[in-house]
Amino acid sequence: MSDHTKLRNEPVPRVSVIIVTYGSTNEIPGCIESLLRRLVPLEIFLVDNASPDDTAQMVEDYASRFENIHAILNKENIGLAAANNSPLGQCKGDYVLILNPDTLLRENSLERMVNFLDRSPDVGVVGPKNVYADGTPHASFHRNWGLLHVLMWRIMPYRLPRLLYDRFSSYKRQDLLFVSGACLLVRRSIFEQIGGYDPEYFLTVEDACDLCIRARKTGCRVVFLPDAEVLHMTGRSAEQAPYIAVWQGYRGTVYHFLKHKGIPQALVVSFLLLMSSALRSVIAAILGVTKEHYRTVARMYASVFWSLLVRNPIRAKRWRFSAVALR
């Protein structure tokens, strides 16, 4: 980090930044550096989720060097949603910035989001345009989230959603269902009012969807602001533990539909994800005849299949209903 770069130490920051880390030693310096160049007074909470490497030590090092950087070290991996709630009650800023460590804020982007919320009291959540490392825009928002989106994001090959969705999205300022959880700015009053994230989500795109849905129920708007930009190098934490990422992603999707759409749609989603994991496991096993990598993938998706079958959120909900009925 350059010696001339310092974190502004105003008594009352405008923005409280929450960054959850997991195996993020390569990403943290760039992310912090992009924040330290901002003109908006900040405080930063670095929340480490029991990383298996030296990330926790790096987090503590930043906290010791900068008064307005605070370290929170979880003893176990409690999931992204719950970890984002860790500083709840400690934040002092007017706004809370949820930021992935594998992101770089482009010049003036945070200032534009803050200014937009300052001028728009009816807006509660705002999200910037996400771009890949090559500058290509990718999914920064969603107008809806239904069965078609599950097919696109959880079942189709990765390249197809990028072709169909990312490149042909309408990148104009607009109200929508939710913005990407990789970088979103929410009013602290609303974040505290709704209790932050639902901790039942562990690592899944739907945690941001649920947050924005509950924020909208307070009467505010959720807005996509393409004038602000963040570079997002997707999936860095997921690479550390691919089985957990896939399983918890699938589980989060089923839980989300169970919570917001009801049991019938949740059952359809469960069936689709079960078939997807089974098919991926079979295909990978066939390809694994000649390549070890595919044998590992086959075993992973077989494990995901059984996890979804045995530990499905629908089964847990039915059990809770039965327990209540027996009282």
Proportion of the chain above pLDDT 90, given as a percent = 61
- Are residues 152 and 185 part of one domain? yes
Q: What is the pTM of this model?
A: 0.88
On the question of pLDDT at 279 being above 60, the answer is yes
234 compared with 293, residue with greater pLDDT: 293
Name the token pair of 287.
């390809």
Q: Which helix (H) or strand (E) holds 47?
A: strand 42-49
Q: Are residues 166 and 252 in the same domain?
A: no
Q: Is 299 helix (H, G, I), strand (E, B) or coil?
A: helix
- What's the whole-number mean pLDDT along residues 229-236? 78
Same structural domain for residues 222 and 313? no
Q: Which residues contact 47 (CB under 8 A, 6 or more apart)?
A: 18, 19, 20, 21, 72, 74, 83, 84, 86, 87
Its domain, for residue 149, covers 15-237
Query: Do 254 and 184 share a structural domain?
Result: no
Q: Checking DSSP bridges between strand 221-232 and strand 103-105, what pairing results, if any?
A: antiparallel
One domain, residues 163 and 203: yes
Backbone φ and ψ for 124, nearest 5 degrees, come out as: -105, -30
Cβ atoms < 10 Å from Cβ of 182: 23
Same domain, 148 and 269: no
Those residues whose C-beta lies under 8 Å from the C-beta of residue 200, and which sit 6 or more positions away, are: 81, 255, 259, 313
Q: Look at residues 237, 256, 274 and tell me which one is the last residue of a structural domain.
A: 237
Which residue, 200, 203, 231, 206, is CA-closest to 20?
203
pLDDT of residue 75: 93
Q: Do 92 and 124 belong to one domain?
A: yes
- Report the CATH number at residue 70: 3.90.550.10
Inside any domain, residue 153: yes
Of 212, 237, 262, the residue that ends a domain is: 237
Nearest partner of 34 among 92, 83, 95, 102, judged by Cα:
102
End-of-domain residue from the set 173, 205, 237: 237
Q: Give the residues across from 142 on adjacent strands.
A: 178
Statement to judge: residues 114 and 82 lie in one domain = yes
In a domain, 10, yes or no: no
**Could you give the number of structural domains in the chain?**
2
Q: Is the pLDDT of residue 80 over 80?
A: yes
**87 contacts 18 by C-beta, under 8 angstroms:** yes
Q: Indicate whether 140 and 230 sit together in one domain.
A: yes
Considering only residues 171 and 22, tell me which one the structure prediction assigns the higher pLDDT: 22
What pLDDT is recorded for position 163? 54
Placement of tokens 């910035």 in the chain: 97
